[in-house]
Amino acid sequence: MLSHVISRAERLLKELLTKADIQVGGSRPWDIAVHNSRLYKRVLRYGHLGLGEGYMEGWWDAPRVDEFIAKLLSANVQKRVRFSLANILLLLQSLFFNLQARSRAFFVAKKHYDIGNDLYRAMLDPRLVYTCGYWKGVKTLAEAQEAKLDLVCRKIGLQPGQRVLDIGCGWGSFAKFAAERYGAEVVGVTVSAEQVKLGTELCRGLPVELRLQDYREVNERFDHIVSLGMFEHVGRKNYRTYFKVARRCLKDGGLFLLHTIGSARTKYANDPWVEKYIFPGGMLPSLAQIARTTEGLFVIEDVHNFGPDYDTTLMAWFSNFDAAWPELRAAYGDRFYRMWKYYLLMCAGSFRSRYNQLWQVVLSKEGVPGGYLSVR
């Protein structure tokens, strides 16, 4: 009976993979090799959680995991297994509980951002920018990240002496750039103690203050506000609160730039594998959710989607991580390598397929007099 169930699961999953032009045992970069036949039943029962855990445990491999994921998502295969047990449980949690409440705000830092500055220094560019680069007219990761930081400063019209709030400041990459290149004064808030520690060292001597603080606790006035790659941790139950905080902290006439990964469709829960292993409490917003929760608080001046640039950014991060792994291995272990490799390449595939988006949204409190001139 067990062999019959497993063979049926194998047949069903192979049929789904065929729809995405993926073969088990094929020779193309996106084809997969299955090392444990229990994978089929695991994926059908647990969806992406089962697929990701199967990869972490060595149950399957592919020469190009990023291409495999891009093929799956482009063919909408995930819709056939989206109502897995893991998805249903996480959806119920998200509906009935505030998984991003203030009491849980620092949990994602312990799980992800505080795991080791040596890892991030090896993986990221010299400025330690952990958000999507802007690859227009540039060739290297360092150039793409500087171009993105400069793009942000130009979009808000940053001037010398202006004071900026950076919600989710990371290691202070924007703060340092804005202070050095534009003569700005920056206050950054993050829930990561390791980011504050290293970021403060990197910004020493500049008019930059990095704080270990939840965004809901900020109650000061700033000329402009930026938030780069932090909104993904806010959660739909807190979107309105987040924008109310931004409004009360933004001076009249100032601009707020929101840089966030997003979903083309409104969702109510995180991906179960990402929730368990990478970003607990994460949730990707849709433009509809952003529009609804800013209504009456902000005027949306500009929306810029450069999601495909995140594919390039993630592949550069993986290349750096992979090259540095011999030095990192003793501290993190082989299971971490497969988890982190899957995380980076799976995300790259999601942007390559256009399943995920990257938006920069510029907002004003009452509308820019005469209109906002879009900056690219």
Catalytic residues: 347
d(CA 375, CA 157): 10
- The full DSSP string for 21-84 is T--BT-SSTT-BEES-THHHHHHHHHTHHHHHHHHHTTSEE-S-HHHHHHHHHHTTGGGGSTT-
Geometric angle at alpha carbon 47, from 43 and 50, rounded to 5°: 55
Instruction: Please state, as a whole number, how many other Cβ atoms lie within 10 Å of the Cβ of residue 331.
Output: 11
Contact 270, 281 (CB under 8 A): yes
Residue 2: which residues within 8 A CB-CB, separation 6 or more? none
d(CA 38, CA 42): 6
d(CA 136, CA 251): 31
Type and span of the H or E element at 144: helix 141-155
Contact 151, 134 (CB under 8 A): yes
Residue with tokens 């893991």: 86
Type and span of the H or E element at 226: strand 224-228
